[in-house]
Amino acid sequence: MRKTSTIETEKGEEFKRILSLWDLIWFGLAFIGPTAPYAMFGIATVKSEGHLPLVYLMAMVAMSFTAVSYGQMARAFPEAGSTYTYSSKALSPVIGFFAGWGMILDYILIPLLSVIFVSLTLNKILPQLPYFVWVLSSAAAITGINLRGIRVTSRANYVLNAIMGASLVWFILMAIRALLAGTGAGALLSFKPFYNPPTFDFNEVMGATSIAVLSYIGFDGVTTLSEDAKDPKRDIWRATVLVCFMAGGLFVLQSYLAQMVWPDYTTFEPVETAFMDIGRLVGGQSLFYFISFVLVVGGFASAITGQASASRLLAGMGRDRLLPYRIFGHIHPKLGTPVHSILLMGVLQLAGAVVLQFAEVAELVNFGAFIGFMLVNVSVISHYFFKLGNRGGTHIALHLLLPLSGFSVCLFIWIHLSAFTLKVGAAWMILGFLYLVYLTRGFTRRFADLKL
């Protein structure tokens, strides 16, 4: 039996340190979704004019810079607050507040988006039950799993990842068999999905890369589990980086095979279901329906992990009195979970899924995420390069050049978000500023004196 260690918070409340390296990796993969290309394959392939494997490869390299930065900060500050904690301690409490405030928007919207997607899909499969029933049952199931504790959440992630993994193995084997039989390109190896001169357009590839980068959002969720991990200083940074590269490898492989099976991206009809149609081509109706089922499974996995990450971010801010401690900072003594934060997230998902549209939520997910990503990259430079003075040898690359590259990539993507997203996101940040003014009584009180 595995030993369980703990970390204590105020009044003896504690998280339970039970997660191994592989538990963390499976959590991160479930958050990202190893089958992410299923949903966006058609749109991104058309956008890149048949170069999606190249796009995913470039996106993986781009996001790996930020993944390394998260890993570095997790080693320095192995606490549950993740982006908020890193920015607070490496930069300033005020900047940390805004980093956390931005990530709250992201972490609320990711599970909310998944609940909407799952409910819409199930409503199409079984239209006899109204949409609200699916929303209620999905939100209740997701919240119930997280309330049971991180061990139950971890076990659910193993099951959900196994289902998604099974569909990937099935698709890969069927795609290889179809290619060997002469389907599509009729060959296993080709450089065309990475570079096809007649259709290659650098601007289109870069535009598609900005979209594909969004498939990697979620690797940072691993760092919110620093106080649930057995050995956070060793395992959190490893899991964060490994999740980014493992997901990227899976994305490149499945998009490569799909494009080889169906090279003419101009014939997708409709473009939104392109991957499912490719699955039917190589594996018949059974694989087509299984891929459809996996889209629901992926939505559940993302919602469960997103809610777990959000509740721990809120717990970190509550513990520092930036949010009411009795609500957000409370950790259940037996379950080791921030129950009030989880319940609040469940209520928000239920209400949001009823009143908001999928497209509206999807546009807003990335605003807070990339603010957090940029500030974590800056935090690495501030903490390691300037405060600790780590400037010799590999430190120049690890603590200056890589985070600078990560910051630049994230800034480029962030400023190219839609006008709607930037306006709503700005309104959210203004609301946060007004809340901070209230907390500090017009910045006349120190953060250390806050007693919410």
Over residues 201-228, mean pLDDT? 78
CA–CA gap between residue 406 and residue 402 (Å, rounded): 6
| Whether the predicted pLDDT of 449 surpasses 60 | no
Cis bond leading into 270, ω under 30°? yes
State how far the Cα of 239 lies from the Cα of 154, in Å rounded to an integer.
14
Cα 426 from Cα 418, distance rounded (Å):
12
CATH number at residue 379: 1.20.1740.10
At 372 the pLDDT is 86
Among residues 343, 369, 376, which one has the least CA distance to residue 428? 369
DSSP string, 154-165: HHHHHHHHHHHH
pLDDT higher than threshold 90 for residue 172: yes
Residue 4 binned pLDDT confidence (cut-offs 50, 70, 90):
very low
More confidently predicted of 6 and 107: 107
Sign of CA dihedral 394, 396, 398, 401: negative
Min mean pLDDT across 83-92, 195-204, 320-329, 397-406 is at 320-329
What is the tally of structural domains in the chain? 1
Tokens 């949903």, residue located: 39
Average pLDDT, the chain: 82
Contact 37, 300 (CB under 8 A): no
CA distances, 217 to each of 23, 339, 384 (Å): 18, 25, 25
- Regarding predicted confidence, which is higher, 128 or 1? 128
| Model confidence pTM above 0.85 | no
The pLDDT score that the predictor gives to residue 358 is 66
d(CA 361, CA 381): 32
Give the pLDDT confidence of 287-343 residue by residue, as tens digits: 988 888 887 887 787 787 778 777 777 777 777 777 777 777 777 767 777 788 888
**pLDDT reading at 46 higher than 50:** yes
Least confident range from 11-20, 72-81, 84-93: namely: 11-20
Are 87 and 319 within 8 A, CB to CB?
no
Concatenate the DSSP letters of all residues of 188-211 into one string.
Answer: S--STTT--TTT--HHHHHHHHHH
Phi-psi group of 418: left, alpha or beta (phi > 0 → left; psi -120 to 50 → alpha; rest → beta): beta
Q: Which of 144, 140, 97, 156 is nearest to 337 (CA)?
A: 144
**What is the band of 178 on the pLDDT scale with cuts at 50, 70, 90?**
very high
Print the domain residue range for 70.
Answer: 5-449
Instruction: Report pLDDT for 251.
Output: 93
User: Of all residues in the chain, what percent carry a pLDDT higher than 90?
Assistant: 18
Provide the pLDDT for residue 11: 46
Instruction: Provide the pLDDT for residue 249.
Output: 93
More confident residue, 16 or 20: 20
Closest to 103 in 3D by CA, of 355, 376, 320, 359: 376
Give residue 53's pLDDT: 93
Residue 12 has pLDDT above 60, yes or no: no
Task: Name 8's bridge partners.
Answer: 14
Given this model, what pLDDT does residue 52 score?
A: 92
Which range among 12-26, 51-65, 271-285 shows the weakest confidence by mean pLDDT?
12-26
pLDDT in tens, 51-81: 999 999 988 988 899 989 988 888 888 876 6
The per-residue pLDDT for range 428-440, each reduced to its tens digit, is 999 989 988 888 8
Percentage of residues in the chain having pLDDT higher than 70:
92
Mean pLDDT computed over 2-18: 50
Higher pLDDT, 230 or 214: 230
pLDDT at 403: 94
Radius of gyration for the alpha carbons in the chain, expressed in angstroms and rounded: 22
Confidence class for position 203, pLDDT limits 50, 70, 90:
confident
The pLDDT score that the predictor gives to residue 84 is: 82
Cα–Cα distance, 39 to 358 (Å, whole number): 14
344 strand-pairing partners: none
- Extract the tokens encoding 105: 């928007």
- Per-residue pLDDT reduced to its tens digit, 377-389: 999 999 999 999 8
Single out the residue of 387, 52, 391 nearest to residue 195, CA to CA: 52
